[in-house]
Structure 1
Amino acid sequence: MTDARLVGTWTTQLDDDGKAVPGLVRFSADGGVVSTQVNTRNIGLGSWRATGPDTFEYGFHILAVDGEGKHVGEARVRVQGEFVSDTAWQGTGGADFHDPQGAKVRGHDGSKVTAEKFGVDG
């Protein structure tokens, strides 16, 4: 199941314990996701799928590095969203943080995410 409304570029706002964190996410027609937020050093890559007539989910991984560029782990992000219009959606998201060997270090769920479509496709 796919939803053409999601395809394109979106500005996002993540509620991080009361602090708004802006970001950008791009959904491709073949199910790919590219995401970035101002609180991360690297982009996230992943995939998305429709889960109902107005709902979808997506996930991506962000590789984490320290100040010297050494790999220190990754964030595994997942979001469930629902359209509120053809150019806006809202949902909840969470992330698990893993060390370089893949062991989960910590995680969180339930952060509010809102998004608006922009660009020539929005």
Structure 2
Amino acid sequence: MSDARLAGTWTTQLDDDGKAVPGLVSFAADGGVVSTQLNTKNIGLGTWRSTGPDTFEYSFHILAADPEGKHVGEAHVRVEGEFVSESRWQGTGGADFYDPQGSKLRGHSGSKVTADKFGIDQ
């Protein structure tokens, strides 16, 4: 973690097979990540780090439950991003999906993600 530009909250757009899915992701200066998207029912928690002068990566896990609240699995999400300006980044992401016992069910990668910073200082 060395890129202070990432710290703060960002609105995101995930390209999910041609459909734009809005979300929010917040990056803490200490490397923590909190993320949510409209196509998930729960928040994701994880970490981020700088990988170069204008690049970074982050990952987080989302717990999944059925309508009765029973744990039905997890999504492990990972994203690689690059700054295109001080208040905008773009990248690609993917996810792997696991059952409650930790067996991988399916996964995907290469989904486009764009983000714009917002907040009181923007």
What TM-score comes out, normalization by structure 1 length?
0.98
RMSD, matched Cα: 0.7
Aligned to 1:99: 99
Cα displacement (A) at 1:11: 0.1
Cα distance in 1, alignment partners of residues 22 and 66 from structure 2: 22
Equivalent residues in 2 for 1:14-93, closer than 5 Å:
14-93=14-93
Task: Answer whether contact 1:9 1:121 (CA < 8 A) is retained.
Answer: no
Moved over 4 A (4+): none
Ranges in structure 1 where 5+ consecutive residues have no aligned partner? none
> How far, CA to CA, are the matches of 1:25 and 1:111 in structure 2?
16
Question: What TM-score, normalized to structure 2?
Answer: 0.98
**Partner-residue secondary structure (3-state), 2:49:** strand
- The aligned length equals 122
Following TM superposition, by how much is the alpha carbon of 1:23 offset from its aligned partner in structure 2, in angstroms?
Answer: 0.1
Percentage identity across aligned positions? 81
Letter in structure 2 aligned against 1:17: D
